[in-house]
């Protein structure tokens, strides 16, 4: 049976992993189980990790997601610096990180899931689909300079991204208090 993941439990796990894998050297971050979010997000500016533990299938996925996002405190994106940090964590026995690292190495530095999450995150900030496609479509090299998708992989990713963005926009319409949460 999957654990009930409260904010307090996630915060305790953050402190435990900080001590175990970083020697307690990471700065304090607030960790919350945000049921309005799809996936997980490390916001370094606000020193906050938000995840929807209910959308993750197992306790191991929750733990892996937390370590993954804690890795973003030391290295942005999913490039070489972050991958080196994940290698270090995997060698130290962090849960699920070996598989996580394999996923990120199997394709571009950004996975489809992380790209879709980026589109979803822009919707929380009030960005339209048109604005998101211009900003993120180019950033992730999904569209050409004339706005056309560059590959079948890019087209599928953009279809999923549009659905995720629209889902967040619908949440805003039904619950305006979630805007800029």
The pTM of the full predicted model, rounded to 2 decimals, is: 0.61
For 36-40, the CB contacts below 8 A with 24+ separation are 36/171, 36/175, 36/178, 36/181, 38/117, 38/120, 38/164, 38/167, 38/168, 39/65, 39/113, 39/117, 39/120, 40/65, 40/66, 40/68, 40/69, 40/117
The tens digit of pLDDT for each residue in 54-105 reads: 888 789 999 999 999 999 998 877 777 888 899 999 999 999 898 877 777 6
At 56 the pLDDT is 82
The tens digit of pLDDT for each residue in 7-51 reads: 999 999 999 999 999 999 999 999 999 887 767 888 888 899 999
User: Does the 7-105 domain belong in CATH 3.30.2010.10?
Assistant: yes
Domain with CATH 3.30.2010.10 in the chain: 7-105
The tens digit of pLDDT for each residue in 119-142 reads: 888 887 788 899 888 888 877 778
């Amino acid at each position: 049976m999957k654990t009930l993941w409260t904010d307090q439990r996630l915060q305790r796990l953050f402190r435990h992993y900080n001590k175990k894998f970083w020697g307690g050297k990471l700065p304090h971050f607030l960790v919350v189980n945000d049921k309005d979010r799809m996936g997980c997000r490390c916001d370094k500016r606000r020193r906050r990790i938000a995840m929807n533990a209910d959308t993750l299938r197992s306790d191991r996925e929750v733990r892996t997601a937390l370590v993954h996002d804690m890795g973003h405190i030391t290295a942005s994106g999913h490039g070489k610096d972050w991958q080196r940090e994940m290698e270090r964590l995997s060698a130290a026995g962090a849960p699920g990180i070996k598989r996580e690292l394999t996923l990120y190495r199997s394709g571009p530095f950004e996975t489809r899931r992380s790209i879709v999450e980026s589109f979803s995150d822009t919707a929380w900030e009030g960005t339209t689909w048109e604005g998101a496609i211009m900003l993120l479509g180019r950033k992730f090299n999904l569209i050409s300079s004339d706005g056309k998708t560059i590959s079948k992989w890019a087209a599928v990713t953009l279809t999923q991204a549009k659905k995720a963005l629209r889902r967040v926009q619908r949440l805003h319409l039904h619950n305006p208090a979630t805007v800029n949460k």
